């Protein structure tokens, strides 16, 4: 290695030049960040060659592991053809192939795919599509959205608006548009309250937006398929588009390809992102059912057109990788395998759940939140526990005092046991430090 041979030196250069999201840069360097140089399988390697088990799928995106031979080949093959050409007014073969392949698996009727690059943008597009869907039918006063408490849908202003507060984003409240907000999945009566709000507010609603089964960023709050199905039925009975944000839950994370399938629902609009390329490239999609899509058809340059687009929409490199990723999920039986791995993870985490310092373990499929139970006055337990796990070679990241465990679909039984063992030891270490402080 010719430059920056130590992790400390790389952290210094990093802090001097890069601005990290959701990170206080004044203390970034001192917090001993992992500076990744390469990845292989379920592991990341830092600049000193230390390896870390990627137990958070690089923030919920990686599905097959890192540097997968077959996905690498798909990217290289596409590179030799073309990386990118615009989707505004023209098409590309890779995007067509991906849309056709996705159409076979998404639980959306006769879907069309509006591609973008990040989950937030997929939600932003969904919000605007829902608004214009009504507008194109001559209904111009549906400006409200129903969304759940503790929801997280991304950080652009529209997605932030359908999302609830928290995560330090409350200062943006003046920029958020008002939303009919009903409780999140931590309220056992969430569905009754949400249905009541639909009944009350339906004439003003452009759409209802949910994260089916799991509110991930809220700290892995979970619900069951039945209430989600009841909510969907109430929304769709009123003719209101149901937007399912499956940016986090999609592509096998909850034990099926999509959480909507487990709930037996068919969204009118669906948001995909994160795992869509196996965690390789920034790609997302807003999926519209035929009745939504068809509301936008009209005369050329006319007012029914969706006047929205992004430079990298339908990026050929990302689409080729995403299409190969779908094939590999099937070829390797990874959706089924992930469901089995999830049961193993649940069993392995029983020992963690039994610890005094752990309040609750919540899980749907491989999406898991371990909520710590810090003694009064103790601070930053989530951070401390994750730091201890990272020192022991398992990369974890907390959401407050909830430790998120969300390994790639390719996780092995032995690696699951390592995650559980390391997490238990990390919790014990922090609890012991606290007790002796």
Ligand X SMILES: Cc1ncc(COP(=O)(O)O)c(C=O)c1O
Strand order in the sheet with 51-54: 36-40, 43-46, 51-54, 394-395
Q: Which stretch binds ligand X (CB under 6 A): 152-160, 386-394, 395-403, 429-437?
A: 152-160
From the list 215, 203, 156, the residue with the least C-alpha distance to 21 is: 156
Secondary structure of residue 329 in the 3-state scheme: helix
In this complex, which beta carbon is closest to ligand X, that of residue 101 or of residue 217? 217
Alpha-carbon span 150 to 221, nearest angstrom: 9
Whether residue 275 contacts residue 252, with contact meaning beta carbons closer than 8 Å, is answered with yes
Q: How far is the CB of 157 from ligand X (least distance, A)?
A: 13
Q: Is 153 in the site for ligand X (CB under 6 A)?
A: yes
Tokens of 46: 């830092």
Q: Is 154 in the site for ligand X (CB under 6 A)?
A: yes
Q: Is 210 in the site for ligand X (CB under 6 A)?
A: no
In this complex, which beta carbon is closest to ligand X, that of residue 65 or of residue 212? 212
**172 φ, ψ (degrees, to nearest 5):** -85, 0
In this complex, which beta carbon is closest to ligand X, that of residue 57 or of residue 132? 57
Query: Containing H/E element for 112?
Result: strand 112-116
Alpha-carbon span 256 to 261, nearest angstrom: 7
Q: Which of 210, 217, 316, 396 binds ligand X (CB under 6 A)?
A: 217
DSSP class of residue 240 equals P
Alpha-carbon span 211 to 228, nearest angstrom: 9
Q: Is 427 in the site for ligand X (CB under 6 A)?
A: no
Q: Is 222 in the site for ligand X (CB under 6 A)?
A: no
In this complex, which beta carbon is closest to ligand X, that of residue 153 or of residue 325? 153
Q: Which stretch binds ligand X (CB under 6 A): 5-13, 113-121, 307-315, 319-327?
A: 113-121
Q: Is 216 in the site for ligand X (CB under 6 A)?
A: yes
Q: Is 364 in the site for ligand X (CB under 6 A)?
A: no
Q: Is 123 in the site for ligand X (CB under 6 A)?
A: yes
Q: Which of 213, 248, 334, 342 binds ligand X (CB under 6 A)?
A: 248
Q: Which of 54, 245, 268, 371 binds ligand X (CB under 6 A)?
A: 245
Q: Which of 116, 120, 295, 342 binds ligand X (CB under 6 A)?
A: 120
What lies within 8 Å, CB to CB, of 415 at 6+ separation is 42, 53, 407
b vs e for 403-417, b when ≥16 Cβ sit within 10 Å of the residue's Cβ? bbbbbbbbbeeebbe
Q: Is 145 in the site for ligand X (CB under 6 A)?
A: no
Neighbours of 346 (CB within 10 A): 18
Cα separation values, 378 from 213, 369, 381, 402, Å? 31, 20, 7, 14
In this complex, which beta carbon is closest to ligand X, that of residue 259 or of residue 335? 259
Report CA torsion sign: 230, 235, 237, 241.
negative
Q: Is 152 in the site for ligand X (CB under 6 A)?
A: yes
Q: What part of residues 252-311 is at the interface with ligand X (CB under 6 A)?
A: 273
Q: Is 142 in the site for ligand X (CB under 6 A)?
A: no
In this complex, which beta carbon is closest to ligand X, that of residue 92 or of residue 159? 159
Q: Is 211 in the site for ligand X (CB under 6 A)?
A: yes
* CB closest to ligand X, residue no: 119
Q: How far is the CB of 150 from ligand X (least distance, A)?
A: 11
Report CA torsion sign: 418, 420, 423, 425.
negative
Q: Which residues are at the interface with ligand X (CB under 6 A)?
A: 118-120, 123, 152-154, 211, 216-217, 245, 247-248, 273
């Amino acid at each position: 290695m010719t430059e920056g041979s130590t992790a400390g030196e790389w952290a210094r250069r990093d802090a001097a030049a890069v601005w990290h999201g959701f990170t206080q840069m004044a203390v970034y360097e001192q917090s001993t960040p992992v500076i990744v140089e390469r990845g292989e399988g379920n592991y990341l390697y830092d600049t000193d060659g230390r390896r870390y088990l990627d137990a958070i799928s690089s923030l919920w995106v990686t599905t097959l592991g890192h540097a997968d031979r077959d996905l690498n080949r798909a990217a290289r093959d596409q590179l030799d053809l073309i990386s990118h050409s615009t989707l505004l007014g023209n098409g590309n073969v890779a995007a067509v192939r991906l849309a056709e392949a996705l159409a076979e698996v998404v639980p959306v009727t006769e879907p069309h795919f509006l591609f973008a690059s990040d989950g937030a943008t997929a939600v932003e597009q969904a919000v605007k599509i829902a608004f214009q869907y009504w507008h194109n039918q001559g209904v111009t006063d549906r400006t409200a959205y129903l969304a759940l408490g503790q929801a997280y849908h991304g950080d652009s202003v529209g997605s932030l608006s359908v999302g609830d507060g928290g995560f330090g984003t409350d200062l943006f409240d003046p920029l958020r548009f008002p939303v009919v907000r009903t409780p999140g999945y931590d309220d056992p009566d969430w569905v009754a309250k949400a249905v009541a709000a639909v009944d009350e507010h339906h004439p003003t609603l452009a759409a209802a937006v949910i994260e089916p089964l799991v509110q991930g960023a809220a700290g892995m709050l979970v619900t069951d398929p039945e209430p989600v199905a009841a909510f969907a039925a109430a929304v769709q009975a009123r003719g209101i588009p149901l937007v399912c944000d499956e940016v986090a839950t999609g592509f096998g994370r909850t034990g099926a390809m999509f959480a909507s399938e487990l709930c037996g629902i068919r969204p009118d609009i669906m948001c995909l992102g994160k795992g869509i390329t196996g965690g390789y490239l920034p790609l997302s999609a807003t999926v519209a059912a035929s009745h939504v899509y068809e509301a936008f058809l009209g005369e050329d340059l006319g007012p029914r057109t969706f006047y929205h687009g992004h430079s990298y929409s339908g990026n050929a490199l990302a689409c080729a990788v995403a299409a190969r990723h779908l094939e590999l999920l099937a070829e390797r039986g990874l959706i089924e395998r992930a469901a089995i791995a999830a049961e193993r993870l649940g069993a392995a985490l029983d020992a963690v759940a039994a610890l005094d310092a752990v309040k609750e373990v919540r899980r749907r499929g491989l999406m898991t939140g371990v909520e710590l139970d810090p003694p009064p006055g103790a601070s930053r337990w989530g951070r401390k526990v994750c730091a201890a796990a990272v020192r022991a070679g398992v990369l974890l990241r907390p959401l407050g005092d909830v430790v998120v465990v969300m390994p790639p679909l390719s996780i092995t039984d032995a690696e699951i046991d390592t995650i559980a063992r390391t997490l238990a030891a990390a919790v014990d270490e922090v609890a012991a430090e606290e007790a002796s402080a």
